[in-house]
Structure 1
Amino acid sequence: MQPLKMLNNVQKARLLHSLFTNEIPEFLGYLNELTETVLNDKERIAAEWKDQMFDAGLWFELAAEVQRVMAKYSKDLYKSSAVFADQLFGGFMAIFTAHALVQYTALGRNTDPKFKPAVELLFG
C-alpha cells in the first residue's frame, strides 16, 4: 500500500468503502438528499455563494452529475468499492462528494464511530 499522502481521491474512496461497507448505504442516502437540496434551492444558494475558487454554477453541475451517476450505478455503488470510488470521486466530482462525506460526519449521521476519524484522515 502507498503512503497516505500519495493516494488520490479515488484510491482514498476505495479504501474507505472497503473498510466501512456498512456505512456506505447511509452515506449514499445522505448524498442523494444533499443533491436534491442543492438542485431544489439554487436561487438561495447562488445568492449566498462565497466560494472564490469556483462559482455556484459548477456546484449545481456537480450535484446534477452526482444524481446521474447515482441513478445509473445505483446498486453497484453500494456493493463495489471500485464503482463507488471511480464514479463518485473521479475528477471534479470529488469536490462535491468529499464535501458531502465531511458534512455527513459533521452532522453525526454516521453510525460507526470509527467512520468520522477515517473521513477526517482521508479527506479532511
Structure 2
Amino acid sequence: MNALHELTNKERGQILIDLFPDELIPTLEGVEHFCNLILLNEQKIRSRWDNPLFTASSWFNLTAECLAVIKRLKSWKRLNARVFSEQLFYGYLSMVVIDCIIKFADSSEGRSKYKVAVDLLFKP
C-alpha cells in the first residue's frame, strides 16, 4: 500500500469501503442525498459560487452525472468497494463524490470511526 499522501482518490474510496463494508449502501445513499440537495438549491448555490476550480454549471453537470452513476450502481447485485471506487472516483466526478461523502460523514451520528476515516482520507 502507498503512503496516504500518494493514494489516488480511487484508492481512497476503495479503502474507505474496504474498512467499512457495512457503510457501502449508506454512503451511496448519503452521496445521493447530498447530490439531490445540491440540485434542489441550485439558484442559491449559483448566487454564492466562488470556486475557482469549477464553474457552477460544471459542478451541477457533475452532480447530475453522479446521480446517474448512483442510479446505475443501486441496481447492481454485486456492488463492492472496487466497483464503488471505479465508478465514482474517476476524473472530476470524484470531487463531487468527495464533497458529498464529507458532508454525509459530518452529518452522521453514531459513526465516529467512519467519520475519522473520511477525515483522514479526504479532508486536506
TM-score, scaled relative to structure 2: 0.89
- Residues 99 and 60 (structure 1), Cα distance of their counterparts in 2 relative to 1, 3 Å cut: same
The 4+ residue runs of structure 1 with deviation greater than 6 A are: none
1:75 Cα offset (Å): 4.1
**Mapped partners of 1:101, 1:77: distance in 2:** 22
Deviations 1:4-34 (A, max 9, x none): 2211000111111111011222221121111
**Mapped partners of 2:71, 2:77: distance in 1:** 10
The letter for the 2-side match of 1:114 is: K
Question: Percent sequence identity over matched residues?
Answer: 27
Q: Is the 8 A contact 1:21 1:78 kept in 2?
A: no
Q: Is the 8 A contact 2:35 2:100 kept in 1?
A: no
2:53 matched residue in structure 1: 53
**Mapped partners of 2:77, 2:102: distance in 1:** 18
2:37 matched residue in structure 1: 37
**Mapped partners of 1:110, 1:76: distance in 2:** 28
2:120 matched residue in structure 1: 121
How many pairs does the alignment contain? 123
**Mapped partners of 2:46, 2:34: distance in 1:** 15
TM-score, scaled relative to structure 1: 0.89
Report the aligned-residue RMSD.
1.8
Runs (5+) with no aligned partner, structure 2: none
Deviations 1:60-95 (A, max 9, x none): 011101111011121449831111001111110111
